[in-house]
Structure 1
Amino acid sequence: MMPQLLTLLCTGLCAAQGSRETKDPLPKPSLRAWPSSVVPHGSNITLQCRAPTKDVDFALRKGDIFLDSSPSLASTEGLAEFHLTDLRNSQAGVYTCELYRLKLPYMRSLPSNLVLLLVTGYWPKPSLQAQQRGVVTAGDNVTLQCQRPDDVFRPIMFALLKAGATGPIQLRTPVGNETDFSLQTVTAEDSGNYSCVYFQIQAPFWTSLPSEPLEIRVRETIERNSPEGAETGLGAVGIALVAVSALLILLGAFLVYRCSRRRHGAALHKMAKRSCSSKEPEKVETRDQPEKESRDTSAAMVSCPPASDEASQVSRAEEPYGVTYAELDIRALNEAPSSQVEQPLETCVYLTLKT
């Protein structure tokens, strides 16, 4: 929008110099305002004219009026700077620069790009509001609405400004007393402070004060496969992985503990079985002893869990010849005859009887 507007404003100037388009051997220079082309009343700016060639002279123009030329010494590096100090409203307008050589044959370049210099402070400031409040996400569209006071009836145009930019980033014609600026598919680079002004679209280019700054903050979305995404995503995914790993470690430790307990119990059980099987039973003589002594002796006998048939056969094979074993029910000996019931053989007592 800015190049189109400036082209319309300077149609007469460009047409007057259009006869040299194809015959000029000098390249077209570029012009920029630093720090910005929209500045307050009384400011100082520098117009920098840069050429892609060296050993040329520069000329600065406002519209079709010649203002200044640079000395040859300053232009040996292909750059000339024109300083404008203590700006007044009368200095607002469209600026261009040109290249030329005074040596024969005389040569002159096409004019540079147009720079619209606006000096703010002539009209009251507008207001700037954003439809999306707070932090916006990268990729979204942001709409900014600039509204001027109702007592301005001249033909005007709105300009959107951003802190740090060297000129207006957008130009819009009003709809009534307001207009909307749209920031499409914003990124982190679009974060910053924005303001707007309205100005007269013809000389003397009177311009309002800038609106109050409006901060726009853009939050970048992190790609999952990017290094930043991997590092940032570690907060949620990493915690889950650590929790699962800790549970697996605890479960593994519990299983190892259970296995070790089982092995330890099996070893103790095996040792007990070996101890019971290897221990010789007490020899008790029952012929000459009364029944009471036999009962007392039975209480002192060693009790072992019932052995398997194979173990019994092996054990019996090792006993000396002539030894007979009898299985006694200890519960039957300790209880009265009336309370005796058939009980499973849980323990066994071996008596040695002499033959």
Structure 2
Amino acid sequence: MSPELLPLLCLGLCAGQSDRTVHEPPSPFFSALPRFLVPAVSNVTLRCWTHIRNVEFTFTKESHVLPSETMMSLDDSGRTVVLPLTNLSREDAGNYSCKYCKKDDPSRCSPASYLSLVVGGNLSKPFFSGQMRRAVSPGANVTLECVKGRHTAAPVKFVLLKEGTPEFVESHTSTGAVAQFHLGPVKAMDSGNYSCVYYQTEAPFSASLPSASLEIQVTGVASSSAEANLILLGLAAVFLVLLEPSLVEA
């Protein structure tokens, strides 16, 4: 091939790759409600949605396509579908994915979005330990130590949960028995009841029940450094008031 043709060939190939990238539909949004980690004999809803209209969704579990009749559309445009799962057991835990294809062009499909569904209750319950302060001032740092139960397989992922919040606060994968979670500098909105769980990140996705909850109360005034700043601002204001007559006379 002539050297003069190489740049043209590269230009054509690059343009073709760019066109495929631009025209590839984006991945859908995929979530589990109320959360991805739930106790056994409970219910969860897998929700998949996209901004693209006129599409057909596909759910899979461990590469096995789930029947379309198990899905429900939440809007007339068909851009949001849900997969209700009830009375959960260990068999329901695993890796799920969701993708969609254009109805008018089935060859144009989005990349899949993934999540792991974890069903708790098979591993012994963890507990909080260490020096933990239940009442703290704004700006303080709080460390929570979650200790897993005995005779459980490692490694596991520790997750810190907050009551009323669907997403986990923080997570750590560890081969040890203890995981530390750090909150701070805390604000009033960080007040609430916290618990921790741990689970296996691979099959059979065994998980614990949540630990006993620990209430964190963020109350009082700000930290000492913030107080010092307020005092300095107050002194500056007093100084300006005292200086004002001299400035007016000048």
AA of the residue aligned to 1:28: S
Task: Quote how far apart the aligned CAs of 1:43 are.
Answer: 0.6
Q: 1:33 to 1:182 in 2, by over 3 A?
A: same
- Residues 199, 207 of structure 1: 8 Å contact kept: yes
Task: Quote how far apart the aligned CAs of 1:82 are.
Answer: 1.1
Corresponding position: 1:62 with 2:52: no
Task: Quote how far apart the aligned CAs of 1:108 are.
Answer: 0.6
Residue in structure 2 matched with residue 94 of structure 1 by the alignment: 95
The TM-score normalised by the length of structure 2 is: 0.72
Render the CA deviation track for 1:31-73: whole Å, top value 9, x for unaligned.
1111121111011111111201222121112232222434778
Corresponding position: 1:80 with 2:78: no
Matches within 5 A, 1:173-322: 173-174=173-174, 176-219=176-219, 221=221
Render the CA deviation track for 1:68-108: whole Å, top value 9, x for unaligned.
43477856152111101111112112222111124335321
Q: 1:77 to 1:206 in 2, by over 3 A?
A: same
Q: 1:217 to 1:108 in 2, by over 3 A?
A: same
Q: 1:188 to 1:22 in 2, by over 3 A?
A: same
Larger Rg: 1
Corresponding position: 1:170 with 2:176: no
- Residues 157, 198 of structure 1: 8 Å contact kept: yes
- Higher-helix-fraction structure: 1
Render the CA deviation track for 1:112-167: whole Å, top value 9, x for unaligned.
2x322111100110102363323112222111100012322443221111112224
Higher relative CO (CA 8 A, sep ≥ 6), structure 1 or 2?
2
| Distance in 1 between residues matched to 2:61 and 2:106, nearest whole Å | 26
Q: 1:61 to 1:167 in 2, by over 3 A?
A: farther
The TM-score normalised by the length of structure 1 is: 0.52
Q: 1:30 to 1:220 in 2, by over 3 A?
A: farther
| Distance in 2 between residues matched to 1:157 and 1:146, nearest whole Å | 11
RMSD: 2.6
| Distance in 2 between residues matched to 1:76 and 1:148, nearest whole Å | 46
Matches within 5 A, 1:113-124: 114-124=114-124
AA of the residue aligned to 1:195: S
Residue in structure 2 matched with residue 140 of structure 1 by the alignment: 140
* Structure 2, gaps ≥5 residues long: 1-19, 224-250
Q: 1:199 to 1:215 in 2, by over 3 A?
A: same
Render the CA deviation track for 1:176-200: whole Å, top value 9, x for unaligned.
3111111132222221111111111
Task: Quote how far apart the aligned CAs of 1:211 are.
Answer: 0.6
- Residues 29, 50 of structure 1: 8 Å contact kept: yes
* Structure 1, gaps ≥5 residues long: 1-20, 224-355
What SS class does the counterpart of residue 90 from structure 1 fall into? helix
| Distance in 2 between residues matched to 1:87 and 1:124, nearest whole Å | 18
- Residues 73, 80 of structure 2: 8 Å contact kept: no
Q: 1:82 to 1:130 in 2, by over 3 A?
A: farther
Q: 1:104 to 1:56 in 2, by over 3 A?
A: closer
Task: Quote how far apart the aligned CAs of 1:221 are.
Answer: 4.0
- Higher-strand-fraction structure: 2
Render the CA deviation track for 1:277-322: whole Å, top value 9, x for unaligned.
xxxxxxxxxxxxxxxxxxxxxxxxxxxxxxxxxxxxxxxxxxxxxx
What SS class does the counterpart of residue 205 from structure 2 fall into? coil
- Residues 143, 181 of structure 2: 8 Å contact kept: yes
Identity value in percent:
38
- Residues 56, 72 of structure 1: 8 Å contact kept: no
Render the CA deviation track for 1:239-295: whole Å, top value 9, x for unaligned.
xxxxxxxxxxxxxxxxxxxxxxxxxxxxxxxxxxxxxxxxxxxxxxxxxxxxxxxxx
- Residues 187, 218 of structure 1: 8 Å contact kept: yes
Task: Quote how far apart the aligned CAs of 1:23 are.
Answer: 6.4
| Distance in 1 between residues matched to 2:76 and 2:96, nearest whole Å | 19
Residue in structure 1 matched with residue 47 of structure 2 by the alignment: 48
Q: 1:106 to 1:184 in 2, by over 3 A?
A: same
- Residues 140, 184 of structure 1: 8 Å contact kept: yes
